[in-house]
Amino acid sequence: MSGRLGQGIPEQTIFESAVRNPELEELTKTEEAVDVPWQVVVHNDPVNLMTYVTMVFQKVFGYPREKAERHMIEVHQKGRSILWSGMRERAELYVQQLHGYLLLATLERVS
Amino acid sequence: MEFRRKDDVLELSELDPFLAELLRQIPSSTKCDDAAAAEQRIFSEPAQPNEKEICEEWKVYVQPELRRLFQSATETVASDLQQLNGSEKPFANCTLRIPTEHADDWLNALNQARLVIATKNNFNEGELCDHYRSPIGSRRDLSLFQVNFYGFLQEFILRETGGA
């Protein structure tokens, strides 16, 4: 049960309300989905230059050059690399920045 | 053609009319026109198709911002390229000076152009690595040369601004 949703209300009451009120149950599910860890994945693209991709990883994530290059090579050789994982809001921001640099990036739930 | 950095300016000198024309085509090359595949590549999905809510919200809230960002970068490049329109001798070599503060906009616009051209022509990885194909064989060969020339320019900007 989400901590924020349950503020000041006994859990039993929330459960009963959810049974009676499907909208509340849906809201609870949505909040749980937001709290699940997410990962930022960059996918291979034959057009983007390796040096450009490395520069973007350095700028967006603040990674040192060696780490940025390791991820770039992983993208190139394996087709994808997980650049970051954590809360959804921040992951969305990273994906937005990566799209701003025209990289193929997606947000994925950590499985 | 010569590349060099002079203080806060990236200078491309001895540009022959052919390369100058390719540079002039950067802004128009960023346009997807009616090519749905190019539009999809520039505005790629932020998540797998089963994450419908994320993908739908992205289109409403994020894509307009990205569109403005790309448009702004292209306008800066178009403004810098005005230098190539004032030559009194149309077939003379010319010089283009790019302020280093415009470097990010150039990298962005060049990337847009490369992605749009590559997607429209459906170039494969092997073709993109073929840097020696003559640009005069066909329109497709010219487009490949254009993609590689813009990539060469990106490399120069990255190297001279410390990004590579």
**Is the Cβ of B37 closer than 8 Å to some Cβ of chain A?**
no
As a whole number of angstroms, the distance between CA A111 and CA B29 comes to 40
Whether residues A96 and B48 touch (CB distance < 8 A) is answered with: no
Strand partners, A38: A86, A109
**Is the Cβ of A104 closer than 8 Å to some Cβ of chain B?**
yes
Tens of pLDDT, residue by residue over A15-27, are: 444 445 555 555 5
Tens of pLDDT, residue by residue over B92-137, are: 789 999 999 999 999 999 999 999 999 999 998 888 887 777 767 7
As a whole number of angstroms, the distance between CA B154 and CA B110 comes to 7
Query: Is ipTM over 0.85?
Result: yes
The predicted model gives A62-81 an average pLDDT of 97
Specify the length of chain B in residues.
Answer: 164
Summary mean pLDDT of chain B: 91
Conformational region of residue B3, where left means phi above 0, alpha means psi within -120 to 50, and beta covers everything else? beta
Where are the strands (E) in chain B, listed by range?
Answer: 2-6, 9-15, 94-99
Smallest Cβ–Cβ distance between B54 and the set A48, A99, A107 belongs to: A107
Tens of pLDDT, residue by residue over A95-109, are: 999 999 999 999 999
Q: What is the pLDDT of residue B1?
A: 85
Q: What is the pLDDT of residue B33?
A: 85
Chain A, residues 39-68, CB within 8 A of chain B, namely 46-49, 51-52, 54-55, 58
Distances (CA, A) of B137 to B25, B131, B143, B148: 19, 14, 11, 15
